[in-house]
Structure 1
Amino acid sequence: MPFVVDSNDEGTVARELELEQMRSTLKEAIVETRSTPLENRPRLPRLSLSKQNRVVVSALKPMLVTYLEASRDLCETNSIIFGAALAVCRIIGAKFSTAGRATGQSSAIPSWRIRIEERIAKSRVLIGRLICFRSGNTRPRIVRTVRMAFAGTNVSLSQPDIMQKLTERIDDLKQRIAAWGKGIWLYTERSTRFNQNLLFQSDHKRLFKSLEGPIVSGTGPAPNQADTVAF
């Protein structure tokens, strides 16, 4: 008598095999994450809230209970959660960078900062030419630059209060440069603190050593014996 397999049984078997493969992928990702330093972990991409992604996340949630209950501290919990996110990316086939966080990609200068630095450089050149015109330099190149600076306004170079308008324009450019520089400084400070936090979690001794300033030995005359005894 031939053996007949029910279609429902086939679907159940396929589902069990799929869940077992997910469970294996999750285990491999968590083990890999635990043995990988924080700065060498891959940078995970942003995933869309599609139906397929939600199904994968819902299937992995019950599997995380065993790992989370056995977690001993926050660092291990962090590794478990990151490993689960890594497993989701691998299951759905998402592409992500495997170069790690401490590579040149993270240390590259952002494009917005390059644009702001170019604006600052152009504004400084413009300020210099406006100051030259205010000092009496009427070369054609300087005059063209001044006219471009007041383009779109009702300011004319022949009006009586042109010197006041030049001063106002120069002050406005200086304030813009200060605001742009402040934004770059804030970004640099946040980036420095972020990198220091990563270094503290991976190698705190190296962080403390980098924060210590160089030891400067005294270059003045040595104290006499009486002062030494009094001290």
Structure 2
Amino acid sequence: METRSTPLENRPRLPRIALSKRNRAVVRALNPMLVSYLEASRDLCDTDSILFGPALAVCRIIGAKVSTTGPATGQSSAISAWRKRIEERIAKARALIGRLIYFRSGNNNQLVRTVRMAFAFDKLSFVPAGYNAKTDGAHR
């Protein structure tokens, strides 16, 4: 596979490899060969091309699976895990804000429990002392 002329986005995604003694030995054997090429490197894209070839060779030598069919596949098109976590937190925060606004407009018993649980989760205390005694008797 020719890698020097292949655009970066069309190169296969290389797998992560374990740092075993055998894998380190393969990498150590290839490192001295790269020195002259890296010294002649003109820019970052050229350096990337120089490093991609030996990385692909290491993967083939150790038997790691590399897809040779077109561009990188897998997680690059999917939503990353950190983005999913942030979006979930934003959705939970929006739902909680909606409940708090509803709570502020009028006390709904089930909603009061939800709000108390939300603040208990955050380890905040928003209910003044004696508030429960005043409201619990009024709603019965």
**TM-score exceeds 0.5:** yes
Structure 2: give runs of 5+ residues left out of the alignment.
Answer: 132-140
Aligned residues: 127
Distance 1:134 1:51, change over 3 A: same
Higher relative contact order (CA 8 A, sep 6+): 2
Deviations 1:89-139 (A, max 9, x none): 1101122454534x563132112222221221221221222222222x122
Q: Is it true that 1:54 corresponds to 2:24 in the alignment? A: yes
Structure 1: give runs of 5+ residues left out of the alignment.
Answer: 1-28, 161-231
In 1, distance between residues paired with 2:34 and 2:103?
Answer: 70
Distance 1:73 1:50, change over 3 A: same
In 1, distance between residues paired with 2:41 and 2:90?
Answer: 51
Q: CA RMSD in A?
A: 3.1
In 2, distance between residues paired with 1:38 and 1:69?
Answer: 18
| Counterpart position of 1:147 | 116
Match of 1:150, SS state, is helix
Aligned AA (2:115): V
Aligned AA (2:75): Q
2:99 alignment partner, one of 126, 129, 139: 129
| Counterpart position of 1:110 | 80
Greater C-alpha radius of gyration: 1
Deviations 1:20-70 (A, max 9, x none): xxxxxxxxx5xx11232211112222333322122212322344467x289
Q: TM-score, normalised by structure 2?
A: 0.69
**Overall identity of the aligned pairs, in %:** 65
User: Structure 1 segments of 4 or more deviating over 3 A?
Assistant: 61-66, 69-78, 96-99, 152-160
In 2, distance between residues paired with 1:64 and 1:146?
Answer: 61
Distance 1:157 1:34, change over 3 A: same
| Counterpart position of 2:15 | 45
Deviations 1:136-158 (A, max 9, x none): x1222221212212325555466
Aligned AA (1:50): S
